[in-house]
């Protein structure tokens, strides 16, 4: 992030988070949360588009980039990730709610905050890209008899989530470069030429596996989420090989009173491949919100 400032924000368990800010701090804040196996640099193509209008904040999720990592698996549970989000908001926008924009695992973890009344005064809006709530996804799959073909396609697309539960094998695949090759292949699916190349590290890929292991139970024993505390925009890329459009668009419906859901052209990494489109959609969504937000 050229021209940005960096700070260290302590999480509730002592892990330090690397936080990056760009744009005018007197403007509304857009907070960007990345997914797996990325760090905050996945947002680099998008930030210049947003910084013209907003105070833009991004951070390295625990275990990635310049952020610290927890001592054990429990440090990757969703409750702790929501605490991290609260700490970043308190440090960067203490007096006004933020517009949350999240991708992949950043979105998975953010749904926990979006359905938590404690965040009602902290969130002005939420844009979710390729990252469903595990609770909502689990309930959607349980109701698969209503959409059996879509459910089967999503289960098949999620095979890697179950593979990550195996001991040692996922780490071995990272060390051998197999996982990185799979991600690269996924990136190329329908991607335009000259796209931004996301920087990734072996350490981030290994640490991030714990996200899946620490939270897989949410898919098998989903709780019914509380209603979302803010307006939500769901963007479902049409060529996403990991999160199918039916899941992304349908699972939130019972739990989001103010929901806008639409497909967008692109694949799972559309945030880096078509940043102008994502910035335009986020800005347009924010502009339609009541002025009080």
Residue 135 three-state SS: helix
Q: Each residue of 63-96: pLDDT tens digit?
A: 999 999 999 999 999 999 999 999 999 999 999 9
Measure the CA–CA gap between 199 and 181, rounded to whole angstroms. 13
Total-model pTM: 0.95
The ranges assigned to domains in the chain are: 5-287
Q: Which fold has domain 5-287?
A: Rossmann fold (3.40.50)
Quick one: tokens of 71?
A: 């001592």
Structure confidence at residue 195 (pLDDT): 61
Chain position carrying tokens 């990592």: 69
Residue 1 three-state SS: coil
Question: Which segments in the chain show pLDDT lower than 70?
Answer: 1-3, 190-197, 291-293
Residues in the chain: 293
Structure confidence at residue 184 (pLDDT): 87
**DSSP per position, 240-269:** -SSS-HHHHHHTTGGG-SSEEEEEESS-TT
Q: Each residue of 127-154: pLDDT tens digit?
A: 999 999 999 999 999 998 889 999 999 9
Q: Rounded to the nearest 5°, which phi and psi values hold at 265? A: -70, 140
Structure confidence at residue 145 (pLDDT): 86
Structure confidence at residue 192 (pLDDT): 63
Neighbouring CB atoms inside 10 A of 68's CB total 18
Chain position carrying tokens 């640490």: 207
Nearest 5°: the CA angle 82, 231, 76 is 15
Q: Do residues 82 and 113 touch, judged by C-beta distance below 8 A? A: yes
């Amino acid at each position: 992030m050229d021209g940005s400032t960096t700070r260290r924000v302590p999480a509730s368990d002592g892990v330090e988070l690397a936080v990056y800010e760009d744009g005018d701090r007197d403007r509304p804040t857009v907070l960007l949360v990345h997914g797996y196996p990325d760090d905050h640099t996945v947002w680099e193509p998008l930030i210049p588009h947003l910084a013209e209008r907003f105070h833009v904040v991004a951070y390295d999720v625990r275990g990635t980039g310049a952020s610290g990592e927890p001592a054990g698996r429990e440090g990757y549970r969703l409750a702790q990730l929501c605490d991290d989000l609260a700490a970043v908001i308190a440090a960067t926008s203490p007096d006004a709610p933020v517009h949350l924009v999240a991708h992949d695992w950043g979105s998975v973890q953010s749904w926990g905050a979006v359905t938590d009344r404690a965040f009602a005064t902290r969130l002005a809006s939420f844009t979710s890209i390729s990252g469903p709530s595990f609770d909502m996804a689990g309930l959607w799959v349980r109701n698969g008899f209503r959409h059996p073909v879509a459910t089967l396609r999503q289960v098949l697309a999620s095979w890697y989530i179950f593979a990550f539960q195996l001991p040692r094998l996922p780490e071995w695949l990272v060390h051998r470069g197999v996982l990185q090759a799979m991600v690269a292949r996924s990136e190329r699916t329908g991607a335009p030429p000259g796209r931004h190349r996301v920087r990734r590290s072996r350490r981030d890929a290994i640490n991030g596996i714990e996200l899946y292991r620490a939270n897989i139970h949410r898919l098998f024993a989903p709780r019914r989420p509380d209603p979302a505390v803010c307006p939500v925009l769901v963007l479902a890329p049409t060529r996403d090989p990991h999160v199918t459009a039916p899941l992304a668009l349908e699972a939130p419906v019972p739990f989001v009173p103010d929901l806008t859901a639409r497909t967008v052209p692109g694949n799972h990494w559309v945030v880096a491949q078509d940043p102008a489109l994502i910035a335009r959609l986020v800005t347009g969504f924010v502009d339609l919100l009541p002025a009080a937000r």
